[in-house]
Amino acid sequence: MEYMDKYNQWLKGKFDQDIKDELRRIHNNLKEIEDRFYKELEFGTGGLRGKIGAGTNRINKYTIAKSTLGFAKYIINKGDKEKGIVIAYDSRRKSKEFAKTAALVLAQERIKAYLFESLRPTPELSYAVRYLNAAGGIVITASHNPPEYNGYKVYGDDGCQLVPSLANKLISYIRNIDSFEGIELMDEKEAKTKGLLQIIGKEIDDKYISKVKKERVRNDVDKQIKVVYTPIHGTGNIPIRRVLKELGYTNFHVVKDQENPDADFSTVEYPNPEDPKVFEIARNIGEKINADLLLGTDPDCDRVGAVVKNNEGKYTVLNGNQTGVLLLDYIVKNSKLSENGVVIKTIVTSELGRVIAEKHGLEVLDTLTGFKFIGEKIGEFEKNNNKEFVFGYEESYGYLKGTYARDKDAVVASMLIVEMAAFYKKQGMNLYDALMDLYDRYGYFKESLHSIKLEGIAGNDKIKKVMDNYRENYPNNIGGKKVIKVSDYKNSKSIDVLNNKEERIQLPISNVLKFVLDDDSWFTLRPSGTESKLKIYFSANGKDNEDVEFKLKSMEENILGDIKNMVK
């Protein structure tokens, strides 16, 4: 039992007493010990992410310090030591402590750390890296994960999260560090005296907010639109209120019970705007004041969810695909488009965006899941000066207009959603009406996402079993519909089943499988890069809502039933 050896090493090693006490409390729980020590935390689609606690498979100041020392060595090897690293953090447990740990590890390696004075949104970190011409950035956040999680996102000098080719180099430096013990931190006072720790704040805030406001599309909208907003105890409260106030929106109501930072996210079960339950308090306020729109952002403010009134006058949550296509349609209808304009989405995002973009003469590119791949494309466009980025989005509530940042930004997205809703209100419509109009013009599209939680070694084995099974023995028929295309992103091949033709996928390797049916419906399987889950995405389109509902339900029943039998 190798994990027991590691457990005992931590008990005997040079770790803080509170870490050892925590480990002693679980000495009779072999399953818990195994889960904490059977592996080290791994970089996924959202960087390093895990439960807070003692162990190699947990987030703690030692895993933070080791990752940061590896990052420091990576930066030194690149020759960018003098440029410094920007560090931001959100409202989660120990975020400030972990951010300071990272800063003082960098200082010990003689790399300057620019540390934000208090919590800031992740997209502002992306902007700050570019503004300060830094070598990279770190954000301490677990995004929308439950309260017991925290995480560690790493950014390159372009303000973009490290793509796999760069992340693998960083990982090699981290793995070459033998131990979690003995990693030195410079004294905070000494770091400040030597100019190796600089606290930043207002100057970056002002520049960032200015960049966000420049991305507005129109100004002749109904500024009296009534909006209820919840930051879900995270970082979005100050920047989003500021942007909308400075643009003249005066009927903006913040949910008081969820306004202030709270590491326990005590008013919600799960601080994720994808979960309709996080809007319960906002919905109650909205009903009292007859609000036109409800908005909610996740703890690090890179995702935003919107709630609008349907044709029965009841609030309904828009999914990420719906908000994305509404924003895309609004932007392209009200902007001067370049002949070389490009829209970027992910492979698990609805195809309705492609239909809309191509109708307006825009190219559409697909990337793997993870906004870093969208950010990477923006950088390529600027470097080659051959294409112009118009809009990027993913189904998981992430959107970006503009090139000031290279990550999804709920601040700019919130501004644009409010503006868009105000634009339609002036025309006697709301966002639900606008969505129905899109469906009438382009066809009905509907999507769903199902996640199956599978933790620990046994859970990982079950996820692997499902992926292997579908990779080697995929179904030929789903609910009476033929599978006509299979894309295996791990093996970089796409098979045209009907014609028995194979094409190479020109994207980085990733453990993802996508299946397209003969009615253009599709489903995708992907292990989560941030939690111990298997994610199954479904998308269907049809002539009307009843048609598309039937197709979607048929796929869900067949595939989910099959997978649940496999993981029993």
Average pLDDT score, the chain: 95
Whether residue 143 lies in the annotated active site: yes
- Rounded to an integer, what distance in angstroms lies between the CA atom of residue 138 and that of residue 155? 6
Give the helix/strand (H/E) hosting 241: helix 237-246
422 and 526, same domain (yes or no): no
Digit-by-digit pLDDT tens for the chain (568 residues) are 699 999 999 999 999 999 999 999 999 999 999 999 999 998 776 689 999 999 999 999 999 999 999 999 999 999 999 999 999 999 999 999 999 999 999 999 999 999 999 999 999 999 999 999 999 999 999 998 999 999 999 999 999 999 999 999 999 999 999 999 989 999 999 999 999 999 999 999 999 999 999 999 999 999 999 999 999 999 999 999 999 999 999 999 999 999 999 999 999 998 999 999 999 999 999 999 999 999 999 999 999 999 999 999 999 999 999 999 999 999 999 999 989 999 999 999 999 999 999 999 999 999 999 999 999 999 999 999 999 999 999 999 999 999 999 999 999 999 999 999 999 999 999 999 999 999 999 999 999 999 999 988 889 899 999 999 999 988 888 988 999 999 999 999 999 998 989 999 999 999 999 999 999 999 999 998 777 899 999 999 998 999 999 999 999 999 999 999 898 8
Task: Spot the catalytic one: 67, 91, 126, 143.
Answer: 143
Asked if residue 458 belongs to a domain, the reply is yes
Q: Is residue 234 part of a domain?
A: yes
Nearest to 419 by CA among 246, 252, 242, 221: 221
Whether 461 and 400 map to the same domain: the answer is no
Are 179 and 227 part of one and the same domain?
Answer: no
Residues 232 and 189 in one domain: no
CATH classification at residue 234: 3.40.120.10
Q: How many domains does the chain have?
A: 4
Residues 544 and 413 in one domain: no
Number of Cα atoms under 13 Å in the Cβ half of residue 424: 24
495-509 pLDDT per residue, tens: 999 898 999 999 999
Collect all residues with Cβ–Cβ distance below 8 Å to 222 and sequence separation of at least 6. 422, 423, 425, 426
31 in a structural domain: yes
Structure pTM?
0.95
Domain membership flag for residue 215: no
Compute the C-alpha angle 398/400/402, nearest 5°: 170
Among candidate residues 207, 233, 265, the one where a domain is terminated: 207
110 and 194 fall within a common domain: yes
Q: Do 384 and 451 fall within a single domain? A: no
- Say which CATH number the domain at 478 has: 3.30.310.50
**Is 141 inside any structural domain?**
yes
Give the range of the structural domain holding residue 451, as residue numbers without chain letter. Answer: 444-566
Whether 400 and 485 map to the same domain: the answer is: no
Task: Flag whether 251 is in a domain.
Answer: yes
- DSSP H helices, 38-134, are 61-78, 95-108, 122-131
Q: How many CB atoms lie within 10 A of CB 441?
A: 11
Rounded Cα distance between 394 and 148, Å, is 26
Same domain, 274 and 149: no
Residue 214 belongs to a domain: no
Residues 406 and 470 in one domain: no
What type of residue is 347? I
Q: Which residues are registered as beta bridge partners of 342?
A: 363, 389
Of 442, 464, 490, the last residue of a domain is 442
- Pick the last residue of a domain from 442, 469, 492: 442
State the residue for tokens 């008081």. 256
Check whether residue 285 and residue 403 sit in a common domain: yes
Three-state DSSP string of 407-420: CCCHHHHHHHHHHH
pLDDT tens, position by position, 148-157: 999 999 999 9
- Residue 454 makes CB contacts below 8 A (sequence gap 6+) with 460, 462, 463, 532, 533, 534, 567
In a domain, 351, yes or no: yes
- Are residue 59 and residue 197 in the same domain, yes or no? yes
